[in-house]
Structure 1
Amino acid sequence: MRRAPWIWLLLWHASAAIPVLGAAAAFYGPALERTGGAWPAPLDDVYIHFGFARAAALGHPFSWIPGNGYSSGATSLTYPLALAPGYLLGFRGAWLGLFAALLACAALLDLCRSLRRLLEPRGGPGAASSRWVGWVGWIAPLFVVAVPLLDWSWFSGMEVALLGAVLGRALVAVRRAELAPPARRPAEQLRAGLLAALLVATRPEAIALAAPLAVAVAHAAGSLGAAASLARASLPTALLLGAQAAANRALTGEWGAAGAVRKLLLSNPYPTPLEKAVEVIKNLAALRVQALEGALGGPWLSLVLPLLGAVAALDRRSRRVAVPLLLGAYGSLLLVALNATARYQNLRYAAPSLAMLLLAAALGVEALARRGRLAAGVAAALAVAALAAPSAGFARQIDHFARASANIAGQHVEVARRLAARAPRRVLLGDAGAIPYLSGIPAIDGLGLGGYRGMPFARASVHGVPAVVELIERLDPAERPDVFALYPSWWGGLADVFGRRVDAVKIDDNVMCAADEKVIYEADWSALAPPGERRAGVIDEVDIADLVDERAHGYAFPSPRGGWIIGAVLPGGGDGAGGDGAPRFDAGRLIPEGREQSFTIDAAAAIARGPAVLALRTDGGGPIALGVAAPRDAGGEARVEVPERPADRWSEIRVPLRDVAPGDRIRIRSLLGTFRSFHVWLLRP
């Protein structure tokens, strides 16, 4: 007796829920025991999303904290918006993690459903009721949860599970665009393009998949024409990226997102291209060995997934989906290798690649199973190998998930509790996660992911800690943080100079936090200059290492292997600001021998063309020689001999300039020794 298709559908959904919910319970159960009942989060970054979600729920989308302004540091544009309804429904504090877990399970079930649709017969469920979806469709959910390293990320509270759901729907949309009749195909192509854009909005590395998917849609255009089809499939992604870049530029001064500025190796101005390439190779090697080999069962068994993916790529029915999946898997891994943190946080950046490989492998099993009894037997054997090989990692990944969750609860959540009891005005931190979200205290993220009124904290944190202090100096004293929550080893020159240790939280068995101890400090900014302070007689000035001032003056430092940022607090010297002898902070850059720095005089400077005096602040050190050149100076580069300076105070070097005007570019070259350049003033003679 034939059963109705809806019964099979109901049974299939029940069978899909078992592995997904079973895997969720396997990870959350031990973690709840380790956290003492608090909802587990194995990454502090989870709470970054929660912060953006809370701000969105309160009517401040794309802000980390209401009042801080626009931030591009969320990385995922869509995930906080998906979490925001949970906050409105009453999932507050750490319990927003429970909503995230429910969302993750729903997203994975949706991914399983999409995979089933990719695997069912061409005619749909009614085409062959006895083989309604085939045995491959029944085991499809196992592919979704087969890799423990991927499951760690699925259930971490990050955006990966949502990405999986969007990924599945994008693949189904590409298949529908391929099979749709000509009259409906343009709409299906646009649908595929919109879902590809949603992929990129959920995780930027997905551009490596979105682009091949657009080409696949164009390849299946038929009578519609490839160019128009490619436009429908790719323009939504292009428009999204263009709009995001324009918003970032207008609101933060950067084309890229804060996460890219902070984390990409390309953003670091100090290493040479060769040194950056070496780091990329190291990342690729670690990702290959740990994510593409170790997580999949070892060097040999790990080849089963790409082998099955290759089978799918060669199959006429599945190639337009399988080829983009393979290109996307390895392409996104290449993009991830540009991330300085790619090897850390349990390889979470490799999760999308693993998901793509698993989906391609499932398509490969189905492609083999359609080719006769012998091929079906081979497909079954390969499916068993692909699903069983990673299983040895379940115990280790579940244990790591629990320990990491205990780390975050024991350190970040505890610091948030203690800060909430202190009720400071504003906290400076290097983790834009649990501490500000759970404490409810206004905060500035020194690493820049949180964003603060368009100031370039992300870029400053890459250049060096003193550059972060320079940005804080720009703030009104009432806005400056009165408390720090920092890792001392990460913030030398800030925590030890401007802070007084008042509390600390130390954890044992640290597997996830940046250090086992996070310290709370009371701030003392008395060494910072008052905002807007201006030296008498100044025509123009450049505060070196203040990235806002540097950008305004087109300042250039020798890069790579030069221009490293330094900072010092010394009594005032010469006639510069702070000349009353009170200790004054300033940041600067190291200009190696034979290299130069340069800047452009503000075009709006109140100066008529004519002579001026260049005053350069430096600190102590041995004799050096500088070459100073202005474009209108007929004498060319002037050599300035600088004698040894005392180490306990600021010193000033004065250089007369015969003829300068607004818009002129001034070059200062280190002819002998390394010049420690902190500040430049252009004075009336």
Structure 2
Amino acid sequence: MTTTADTDRRGETDDGAEEPRRDVPTGRARAFLTRRDGLAWLLGGVSLLLGAVFVVVDLAYNQGTLIAPLDDVYIHLQYGKQLGEGHPFQYNTGDPISTGASSLLYAFVLGGAYAIGFQGSLFLIFAVVLGVICMAITTGLVYHLGKILVSRAVGVWAGVLVAVSGPLLWGAASGMEVGLTSMLVMASLLVFVKERPSVRFRWTPVVATAMALVRPEGMILAVLLCGAMLWTLRGVRRERKVLRPALWTLLPLAAAAGQYLFYRLATGTFSANGVQSKSHLNDRPVLYFGDVVDRTMANIRGTLEYFNGMNGQDFAFPGMLVVFLMGVAYLLVTRRQWRPLLIAVVLGFGAVVVSVSTLSTALIHELRYFHPFMPLYILLTVCGVHAISRVASAPLARRIGFHVLLVVALLFSLVALPAWAVKLGRESATIRDTDVSLGVWIDGNLPPDAIVAVKDVGAAAYFGNRKVIDTIGLATNGLAEASNNGTGALYEELRKLPPGERPDYFAIYEPQPGAPMRPLVDAGVLGPNPLEVLPVRAPADLTGFRIVPFEELKVFEAHWELAGTGTACPVPGDVRDYLNTGDLDSEESHDYEASMQQPGLQPNSLLRRQDDVIDSGRVIVGGESFTAHNLEPGKELKIAGRILAPGEERSVRVLVDGREVGVWNLGPKRGEWSVESFTVPADAITSSTARVELAPVRPLLSPYPEYTSFGYWFIQ
């Protein structure tokens, strides 16, 4: 039976649930006054006041200067500044377009603000004030949605819990797009329920389109909201002309497709730099399906623990996830006309959790990827408390139980609230100690035309006023894969830059994310002593945690005099081809594969210097395969390899085009590389290309061949 706005309404508006208004008063002023609800304004005011308190705490921790608690905020500001100056999505003026800004919409908002005069210190102030105001509006929207879905009491309690939520206030005052995204999520849902009775979705697609462009997670919910609108149209407008309304509901989907088309046209790939850098599908040299599943499920478990209150109560009271699910189930059973919306929301929550959990950064930065969906999570949890209260038969017992349970939830939020304010202050002070201080030091101490390679690219570029190269690959195209492959691959990518475009200085730290930096110092690419050391002096929290993964930032001068010395052939002869192991382009052109003998082992690239030769290589446990080109058929082939073989097993079988041609001894056990050669008989070379495979002499069983290959020269 088709459910419509006019049927199956019995039992759907208990406890004061309000129907969306269909009548619209004439005149804008009259309409505004008619729709104004004092409780919504009061709740928004509480959120605004507490947001201001968080900003004051930030100022107090930083001697009266507003500082962001994340370096990522300054990435947004840098993109916004560039856009405002007429260089859209160029992180440095003159750079190719890059996709390091995870929010297209926020970049344009910031760019517009910069263009009209919010510059200098006012720029971050604008971002923070915008976030706080958007969160206050979100609070009011939560109230209205709760009032429509269930009752005024549900709306009030949901608004109260959103207004005093420490994570949401932290996100709102951070300068990130948390407040804007939260507002668009709730606005999309509220506009949907307002337009559902008339079955004319005029504004829902517009607001959902903005949501799709503000965050990748918002895009997921926006696409599912398209499905909810189409489902609704199919159910109640079956006999009417629905083609035009149906096409209009697909506007968010078109916007999502347009964003990825922009990525493809601008950068040559559909994948944003952040995904290339952080996704479990991309962040290691070799993709193991079991490893991806294991790491993703670990993030999902961690997320569920946080939002079920089982890993501290900073985000949720104990058992909150169970109550949330009860709220969803209650609404699905009792609110038939909202089922398409509720199903879209449930699928959206699940898809967002899974999608974010595929990132290596899912559980860091105070779980900021999930913050925009917390208002909706809180609202549905309050609906769950309402459902629990229905167990009581007496109306008075229902009301008392409902309010008592939510008072307990409120106490958990209030207890955590001061800690979140302190987190904001402490973390902003840490960023002042490190990334902001680094940017100011760069601006005051390095030549104006200096190029600086950095790991944290936000404040270094924003305050440093120098061209920067992002060694992690967020703001610099093409470096994410190299960084994820290790120091050797990163070195090769930087080495191949024209001499005038290589970094003159490196501002780095050692721990992940990104490739290890110490090998660059050991190889002499960076000077032995740093030009400047910026220690972290901001205290850690009670658990020893800091918002940055390092103890100090160091600035080194770069030395490229030995760049490329590893490519010279170390033996005489006519070199027909050369595979530079660790150089991603060379590996791709030779169809290179590392065959590790245990799933999960990674052939990470490294960098090593021996005498006056610097070369990249890969750590192998097992074997390799590659294709040699430009060969003369019927002529003997000599393979010369630069190899370091410290393991117990140092021999490999050699197969050419699937035919075994001998065993290669990779040299004596030693702590230095050596050049070892193997001769392939002439009859094994049957064409201009040959597929060479190095495999264990004793397959399956340990000890496996363990060595580092730095490169192979093919000589005839």
Report the TM-score, using the length of structure 1 for normalisation: 0.84
Maintained 8 Å contact 1:115/1:168:
yes
Match of residue 639, structure 1, among 650, 654, 663 = 663
- Return the match for 1:155 from 173, 184, 201: 173
Give the equivalent residue in structure 1 for 2:423.
400
Q: Secondary structure at the match of 1:411?
A: helix
Residue number in structure 2 paired with 1:335: 355
Equivalent in the alignment of 1:106: 133
Residues of 1 paired with 2:569 and 2:207: CA distance?
A: 53
Q: Distance in 2 between matches of 1:681 and 1:210?
A: 53
2:709 paired residue among 669, 673, 677: 677
Q: Flag the 1:151–1:411 CA change in 2: closer, same or farther, 3 A.
A: same
- Identify which of 636, 645, 654 aligns with 1:628: 654
> What is the SS of the residue equivalent to 1:539?
strand
CA–CA separation in structure 1 for the residues paired with 2:675 and 2:306: 52
Distance in structure 1 (CA, Å) of the matches to 2:206 and 2:42: 31
Change in 2 beyond 3 A, CA 1:469/1:192:
same
Deviates more, 1:141-150 or 1:238-247: 238-247
C-alpha displacement of 1:234: 7.5
Q: 1:449: which partner in 2?
A: 474
Amino acid in the other structure paired with 1:163: T
- Checking the alignment, whether the CA contact within 8 Å between 1:640 and 1:655 is kept in structure 2 is no
CA-CA distance at 1:269 after TM superposition = 3.8
Amino acid at match of 2:663: R
1:543 maps to 580
* Separation in 2, partners of 1:235, 1:94: 40
Give the superposition deviation at 1:27. 0.8
Offset of residue 342 of structure 1: 2.1
Aligned to 2:54: 27
What is the distance in 1 between the residues matched to 2:640 and 2:417? 64
1: CA distance between counterparts of 2:438 and 2:281?
Answer: 33
The equivalent of 1:567 in structure 2 is 606
Deviation at 1:26, TM superposition (A): 1.7
Please give the secondary structure, in 2, of the residue aligned with 1:352. Answer: helix
| Aligned position for 1:429 | 454
The one-letter code sitting in structure 1 at the alignment partner of 2:298 is K
Asked if 1:203 corresponds to 2:215, the answer is yes
The aligned residue for residue 574 of structure 1 is: none
In the TM superposition, 1:166-205 aligns within 5 A as 166-181=184-199, 185=200, 188=202, 192-193=204-205, 195-205=207-217
Partner in structure 2 of residue 413 of structure 1: 436
Out of 272, 283, 287, the position equivalent to 2:299 is: 283
The 8 Å contact of residues 473 and 531 in structure 1, kept in 2 or not, is answered as: no
1:464 Cα shift? 1.2
Contact 1:287 1:350 in 2 (8 A): no
1:391 aligns with 2:414: yes
In structure 1, what is the Cα distance between the partners aligned to 2:237 and 2:290?
A: 46
For 2:172 and 2:411, how far apart are their aligned partners in 1? 19
Aligned counterparts of 1:94 and 1:516: Cα–Cα separation in 2: 27
Correspondences of 1:603-618 after superposition (within 5 Å)? 609-611=633-635, 612-618=637-643
Residue 506 of structure 1 is matched in structure 2 by: 535
Q: 2:40·2:144 contact (CA, 8 Å) conserved in 1?
A: no
- Whole-Å separation in 2 of the counterparts to 1:366 and 1:460: 52
SS in 2 for 1:42: coil
* 1-structure distance, mates of 2:662, 2:652: 8
CA deviation profile, 1:365-402 (whole Å, cap 9, x unmatched):
89999999655665555554444432210011100110
How many residues are treated as equivalent by the alignment?
A: 647
Which of 563, 579, 584 is 2:613 aligned to?
584
Moved more, 19-28 or 557-566: 557-566
| Residue in structure 2 matched with residue 295 of structure 1 by the alignment | 314
One-letter amino acid of the counterpart of residue 416, structure 2: G
Match of 1:575 in 2: none
Which sits farther off after the overlay, 292-301 or 537-546? 292-301
Structure 2 SS opposite 1:220: helix
In 1, Cα distance between equivalents of 2:381 and 2:320:
13
Change in CA separation of 1:391 and 1:319 when aligned onto 2, cut-off 3 Å: farther
d(CA) in 2 for partners of 1:6, 1:119: 21
SS state of the match for residue 393, structure 1?
helix
Matched AA of 2:230: A
Q: CA RMSD in A?
A: 3.6
Distance 1:326 1:479 in 2: 49
Q: Deviations over 1:296-347 (max 9, x none)?
A: 5531466544444443333325444344333323432232222222222222
Aligned positions of 1:226-375 closer than 5 A: 232=247, 235-249=250-264, 252=267, 254-267=269-282, 268-270=284-286, 272-293=288-309, 294-300=313-319, 303-316=322-335, 317-361=337-381
State the secondary structure of the residue aligned to 1:459.
helix
Q: Give the 3-state SS of the residue equivalent to 1:558 in structure 2.
A: strand
In 2, the alpha carbon distance for the partners of 1:543 and 1:247 equals 33
SS of match in other structure, 1:681: strand
Sort the Cα spacing of 1:643 and 1:119 in 2 relative to 1 into closer, same or farther, 3 A. Answer: closer
Distance 1:266 1:121, change over 3 A: closer
Contact residue 19 and residue 141 of structure 1 kept, 8 A: no
Name structure 1 gaps, 5 residues minimum: 123-132, 572-581
- Corresponding residue for 1:87? 114
Change (3 A) 1:512 1:570: closer
The answer on whether the counterparts of 2:643 and 2:666 sit within 8 Å (CA) in structure 1 is no
Give how far 1:39 is off.
1.3
Identity percentage of aligned residues: 24
Q: Give the structure 2 partner of residue 577 of structure 1.
A: none
Rounded to whole Å, the distance in 2 between the matches of 1:18 and 1:440 is: 38
- Cα distance change of structure 1 residues 119 and 516 upon mapping to structure 2, 3 Å threshold: same
**1:142 Cα offset (Å):** 2.5
- The answer as to whether partners of 1:621 and 1:647 remain within 8 angstroms in 2 is yes
Structure 1 counterpart of 2:532, which letter?
A: D
2:29 matched to 1:9? no
- Displacement of 1:406: 0.5
Tell me how far apart the structure 2 counterparts of residues 551 and 76 of structure 1 sit (CA, whole Å). 32
Among candidates 162, 182, 192, match of residue 144 of structure 1: 162
SS at the partner of 1:295? coil
TM-score, reference length from structure 2: 0.81
CA distance in 2, matches of 1:91, 1:101: 12
Q: Secondary structure at the match of 1:627?
A: strand
- The equivalent residue for 2:232 is 220
Cα distance between partner residues in 2 of 1:554 and 1:196: 44
Deviations along 1:211-270, whole A, 9 cap, x unmatched? 442332232123545996997477545544544445545655544222122212232245
Assess if the C-alpha contact under 8 Å between 1:305 and 1:386 holds in 2: no
